[in-house]
């Protein structure tokens, strides 16, 4: 087992030397420590936890009812839908298909005829 430990230690040292030669700083040869990506997701999760905590406190104090919370959520979703729909520009067949989906028509619209110059 000791022989195995010595061999793996040597392999790790070789790999580390290669990494330092490739990616290390020119003067010192030190490798930069990369920050983990999960911190951003944790920050967003903690923000949502605090929002949920504020809602919970307001409910306990009796300042708002569950119906108010549900209405606020519905209003936010409606605002997002309107905001997203304004940013997209539809034309021609995509517009007719979108209207068909939104209005729930029973028949699919026929594709529009292209305009021809006279």
Report pLDDT digits (tens) over 23-66. 888 888 888 877 666 656 666 676 666 666 666 777 667 666 66
Residue with tokens 């997002």, as numbered in its chain: 80
Q: Does the residue 111 lie in any domain?
A: no
Mean pLDDT of 71-91: 65
Range of the domain at 76: 36-105
Q: How many domains does the chain have?
A: 1
Q: Does the residue 19 lie in any domain?
A: no
Whole-model pTM: value is 0.28
- Given this model, what pLDDT does residue 36 score? 64
User: Could you tell me the pLDDT band of residue 2, with boundaries at 50, 70 and 90?
Assistant: confident
Q: Does the residue 62 lie in any domain?
A: yes
Between residues 5 and 42, the one the model is more confident about:
5
Is residue 58 classed exposed, middle or buried when 0-12, 13-18 and 19+ CB atoms within 10 A define those classes? middle
């Amino acid at each position: 087992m000791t022989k195995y430990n010595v061999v793996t230690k040597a392999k790790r040292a070789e790999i580390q030397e290669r990494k330092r030669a490739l990616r290390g700083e020119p003067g010192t040869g030190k490798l930069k420590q990369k920050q983990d990506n999960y911190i951003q997701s944790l920050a967003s999760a903690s923000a949502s936890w605090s929002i949920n905590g504020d809602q919970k406190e307001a409910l306990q104090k009796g300042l708002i009812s569950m119906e108010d919370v549900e209405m606020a959520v519905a209003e936010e979703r409606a605002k997002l839908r309107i905001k997203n729909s304004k940013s997209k520009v539809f034309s021609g067949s995509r517009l007719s298909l979108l209207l068909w989906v939104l209005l729930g028509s029973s028949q699919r619209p026929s594709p529009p005829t292209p305009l021809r110059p006279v």
